C-alpha cells in the first residue's frame, strides 16, 4: 500500500479508519491477544511509513470494525441485533 501510493503520488495520504475485529471465527470467541498483535502490526506499519520521516502516510484513526453490534442487548430471531444490525431490514428503513 505505502510503496504503491508513493509510486503514484508525491503527496502523502491519510488512513481514515483501520482496525480488526476481535472476534475469531476460527476459535468462535473473542481473541484479545491476536487482536492486539494485529492492531499493533497495523500501527507499526503506519509509524514506519510516516510522512514526517519521509514516508507516504500522514497517519490513521483506529476504528472498531464490527459496527459494535455487541452494544445492543436486543436480538432478533435470526441472531442479528434488533437495534439496527439486522441486514434483512436495511431495505425497509
Question: What percentage of the chain exceeds 70 in pLDDT?
Answer: 68
pLDDT at 93: 41
Give the C-alpha separation, 30 to 60, whole Å. 24
CB atoms near residue 85 (< 10 Å) = 20
- Asked if 85 and 93 touch (Cβ cutoff 8 Å), the reply is no
Tell me the three cell numbers of residue 36.
492486539
Going by pLDDT thresholds of 50, 70 and 90, the confidence category of residue 24 is confident
**Region 73-83: what's the mean pLDDT?**
54
**Kind and range of the H or E element at 13?**
strand 13-18
pLDDT at 67: 56
pTM exceeds 0.85, yes or no: no
Tell me the three cell numbers of residue 67.
459496527
pLDDT at 63: 84
Give the C-alpha separation, 62 to 36, whole Å. 12
Amino acid at each position: 500500500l505505502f510503496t504503491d501510493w508513493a509510486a503514484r503520488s508525491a503527496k502523502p495520504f491519510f488512513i481514515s479508519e483501520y482496525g480488526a475485529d476481535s472476534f475469531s471465527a476460527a476459535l468462535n470467541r473473542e481473541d484479545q491477544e491476536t487482536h492486539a498483535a494485529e492492531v499493533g502490526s497495523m500501527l507499526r506499519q503506519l509509524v514506519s511509513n510516516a510522512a514526517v520521516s519521509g514516508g507516504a502516510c500522514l497517519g490513521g484513526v483506529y476504528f472498531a470494525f464490527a459496527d459494535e453490534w455487541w452494544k445492543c442487548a436486543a436480538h432478533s430471531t435470526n441472531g442479528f441485533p434488533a437495534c439496527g444490525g439486522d441486514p434483512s431490514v436495511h431495505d425497509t428503513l
